[in-house]
Amino acid sequence: MFLTRFRVNAARSGARRLLSSPQAMHAAVMSSFPALLPTDTPPSDGPRVLWRLDHTTRAEVMLYIVSPDRPDLTHLVEQAGWPAAAAADPVEPGWQSRPYGPLLDRLATGDRWAFRLTANPVHHVRRKDDEPTKRTAHLTPVHQMGWLLKRQESCGFRVLEKADNARLLPSGTTHAKAPHHGDRYELTVRDKRALAFDKSRATGPHGGRRAPVSLVTVTFDGRLEVTEPQLLRRALTHGIGKAKAYGCGLLTLAPLGTTR
């Protein structure tokens, strides 16, 4: 496994095209692996290619990729990087890739990390008893936070809780039946984005036009404690939640107290 970081040159027209289309960015990321064909489907039970865009400042965008194989991002440097600077530095040709195995192997129960995750929090609802359920996005930070908290145990971690003297609300919640998680946990929800776009192959299997893709994404920042290292390794290499092809699901860790 490899963890790769690529700084996007947002001033370039190629970069703006990629940043405006999750589908175009997905295609560019998948083109970084010579052994993968465009028709390849992700493995059902193995590590997959995950990616995420971090808008660290208004002018700086970082692309992170976790993958089973080392990527070649030459085409991304040419479209959305600094080609001349990359050519002058053969050691770091416009991106940085590092083996991910050492970090995965060192995870142990009780370890504490800062984390970041961009995800597509959804649930299934039905308006009438005789209707099929429909996948629907969570729209409020409280419900989005609840979506992640429901998955923490199965993903091998627990989100840390604030100390009592750091909470503004008693016990960190407003009501037992309608908990407000925002003041209880070391967790924030930000950068809500509503995305809608057409797939490049707009014709459906029966000749009709495919419905456009629409999804809501948010970014979680917080602190966690490892409870089941093996489950956390799986979450780090398989992703969390839906819409992984569109930049969701990649969980990354950083030592506590460091600047991202």
- Concatenating the DSSP letter of every residue in 190-207 gives EEEEEEEE--SS-B-TTS
pLDDT, position 202 = 44
Kindly report, residue by residue over 100-134, the tens digit of the pLDDT: 999 999 999 999 999 999 999 987 676 666 677 77
Q: Which residues contact 15 (CB under 8 A, 6 or more apart)?
A: 8, 9, 61, 79, 80, 81
Listed range (119-128, 168-177, 218-227) with the worst mean pLDDT: 168-177
> What are the C-alpha distances in Å from 205 to residues 14, 39, 201?
31, 16, 10
Q: Which residues pair with 67 in a beta bridge?
A: 2
CATH of domain 2-99: 3.30.70.1200
Q: May I ask the CATH class of domain 104-255?
A: alpha beta
25 CB burial (10 A radius; 0-12, 13-18, 19+): buried
pLDDT of residue 205: 45
Angle at 26 between CA 25 and CA 27, to 5 degrees: 90
Q: For 5-9, 139-143, 177-181, 205-209, which range has the lowest pLDDT when averaged over its residues? A: 205-209
Pick the more confident residue, 227 or 85.
Answer: 227
3-state SS, residue 99 = strand
Strands 112-119 and 157-159: unpaired
- pLDDT tens for each residue of 78-101: 999 999 888 888 777 889 999 999
Q: Tell me the average pLDDT of the chain.
A: 84
Where are the domains positioned within the chain? Answer: 2-99, 104-255
pTM, two decimals, is: 0.85
What pLDDT, on a 0 to 100 scale, did the predictor assign at position 92? 78
- Same fold flag, 2-99 and 104-255: yes
